Amino acid sequence: MDRVKDHRKTTGHVICIKALLLLTACGGGGSSPSDTTQAEAASHVAEASPTDLDTSPAQSPVNPSTLSALSPPPAPSPSRPELDATVLSVGPGKAYATPCAAFAAAGDGSIIEIDAAGSYVGDVCGITRNNLTIRGINGRPKIDANGKNAMGKGSWVVSGSNTTIENIEMYGARVPDKNGAAIRLDGKHLTLRGSYLHDNENGILTNNDGVSNVVIEYTEFANNGYGDGYSHNLYVGHVASLVFRFNYSHDAKVGHNLKSRAAVNTIAYNRFSSDGSGSPSYEIDLPDAGTAYVIGNVIQQPSNNQNPSLLSFGAESTSNDEQKLYVVNNTFLNDNATQGTFINIGSGVTRPALIQNNVFAGVGRVTTHSSAVLRTNYNAVSAPFTNRSSYDLRPQTGLALHNSGSTLELTDTGVSLAPVFQYRHPTSKEARPAAGLIDIGAYELP
Ligand SMILES: [Ca+2]
Ligand SMILES: [Ca+2]
């Protein structure tokens, strides 16, 4: 049902987006993800860890054909003129009392450092400069919208390009349209890392510009959604690419734990699940098909859910140019004891999906697509994990998952599908060991 509602709300954008891909611009605003696409599929990502944050939004376009879905690259930022490394300090006793005061004073390329010691309640605004780096220091500062919004859109409405946001907690975004976002992207290209977005109507909502690259990593999304099915933990519009990795997205309020209309989605080494506080619909929704690399994720559906499917692809349309779905070395867990569809592929999708080396644990059918290519998956009500209840999902030695996968081939465009990391809870990663034949699922025994 939620899918139908979403479609209704965004149909106009689909047409606009098609035009955007050719014309580069299409009206902004609107209540649904508007204008941004991205091209950074997977490539080799530098190991940006939350504790080792790169100061510059180093974003250079990545050639999708060189992407290793395992380690997608940082968000491309097309042109980055000389850096004005001016640092604007925010917090008690600092030059700026609030982040919004610093954003207003910033120039292109500025670095805004926000001290966690400050109180930033109700500090909402637009962010207009380009090439900004916005980061929390001395802990993780909290941005509580507390009933306020900027432009009817949310807390931070980013219209500048190449923005990097690091180590921020944001909550409380609410607007009259019921789709208030902690971060609303109206500009081009965004990188978010090491942050915590919760209890907003949307964690992130982007435009449909057809050119933006969005990178989200090491971040937790929780309990976002108005509760009407139109709003989600995050909702990425028709941008060029989304790289979503090393994240923990859980308990969307009625909406999806991840929804993306991007042309290319690289979704790798994340955990999607529930702690019982929410009732998500799809764990991952890619409603307009496109190219999707879904690799090395833990994807759990709770018994309390709005839709029995876990991963959905092309459910609304095939308006993206490609219909390439690669689902590799994920661990799917369905805790709905009576029904489930692990991979729901829309009837308009004609290209067979590749579904290889996955665990499908729980009740339900693997996929709706009869032509899908299924290789060495494990499907049973329960699987031989080390300890399911504690979320230790490594295979047990010598049983059905261990050394039971099959070698991954390159895609037709030369992309390696082999997992190189595995998710480490919370919001982190570790190298995936190489030990004998590849194991089935998101984790490899050493
Ligand atoms: Ca579901
Ligand atoms: Ca192995």
Query: Separation of 404 CA from ligand 2 center, angstroms?
Result: 7
Query: Separation of 305 CA from ligand 1 center, angstroms?
Result: 6
Query: Separation of 385 CA from ligand 2 center, angstroms?
Result: 14
Query: Separation of 190 CA from ligand 1 center, angstroms?
Result: 27
What percent of the chain is predicted at pLDDT more than 70? 81
Question: Which ligand is closest in space to the CA of residue 302?
Answer: 1
Whose CA is closest to 248, among 219, 214, 282, 275? 219
Query: Separation of 435 CA from ligand 2 center, angstroms?
Result: 4
Checking if the pLDDT of 265 tops 70, the result is yes
Question: Which ligand is closest in space to the CA of residue 336?
Answer: 1
Question: Which ligand is closest in space to the CA of residue 394?
Answer: 2
Query: Separation of 412 CA from ligand 2 center, angstroms?
Result: 26
Query: Separation of 252 CA from ligand 2 center, angstroms?
Result: 34
Query: Separation of 150 CA from ligand 1 center, angstroms?
Result: 32
Question: Which ligand is closest in space to the CA of residue 311?
Answer: 1
Checking if the pLDDT of 5 tops 60, the result is no
pLDDT grade for 85, boundaries at 50, 70 and 90? confident
pLDDT grade for 83, boundaries at 50, 70 and 90? low
Query: Separation of 364 CA from ligand 1 center, angstroms?
Result: 12
Q: How far apart are CA 58 and CA 56, in angstroms?
A: 5
Question: Which ligand is closest in space to the CA of residue 252?
Answer: 1
The CATH class of 2-431 is mainly beta
Query: Separation of 311 CA from ligand 2 center, angstroms?
Result: 26
pLDDT grade for 62, boundaries at 50, 70 and 90? very low
Query: Separation of 284 CA from ligand 1 center, angstroms?
Result: 8
Query: Separation of 444 CA from ligand 2 center, angstroms?
Result: 6
Measured CA angle at 295 (ends 293, 298), to 5 deg: 135
**What are 88-115's pLDDT values in tens digits?**
999 999 999 999 999 999 999 999 999 9
Query: Separation of 334 CA from ligand 1 center, angstroms?
Result: 9
Query: Which residues are registered as beta bridge partners of 298?
Result: 271, 331
Query: Separation of 359 CA from ligand 2 center, angstroms?
Result: 14
Whose CA is closest to 423, among 434, 431, 433, 435? 431
Q: Which residue has the higher pLDDT, 14 or 187?
A: 187
Query: Separation of 434 CA from ligand 2 center, angstroms?
Result: 7
Checking if the pLDDT of 200 tops 80, the result is yes
Query: Separation of 130 CA from ligand 1 center, angstroms?
Result: 38
Identify which of 1-10, 22-31, 69-78, 90-99 has the greatest average pLDDT: 90-99
pLDDT at 61: 35
Which CA distances in Å does 359 have to 349, 381, 422? 23, 10, 14
Contact criterion met (CB below 8 Å) for 239 and 37:
yes
Distance of CA 37 to the CA centre of its chain: 13
**What are 398-412's pLDDT values in tens digits?**
999 999 999 999 999
Helix (H) or strand (E) holding 163: strand 163-166
Q: Which residue has the higher pLDDT, 60 or 166?
A: 166
Rounded mean pLDDT of 416-430? 98
Handedness of CA 201, 207, 210, 216 (dihedral sign): negative
CB-based burial of residue 348 (10 Å sphere; 0-12 exposed, 13-18 middle, 19+ buried)?
middle
Query: Separation of 405 CA from ligand 1 center, angstroms?
Result: 26
Query: Separation of 403 CA from ligand 1 center, angstroms?
Result: 29
Which residues are found with C-beta within 5 Å of the ion, ligand 1?
301, 305, 307
Question: Which ligand is closest in space to the CA of residue 440?
Answer: 2
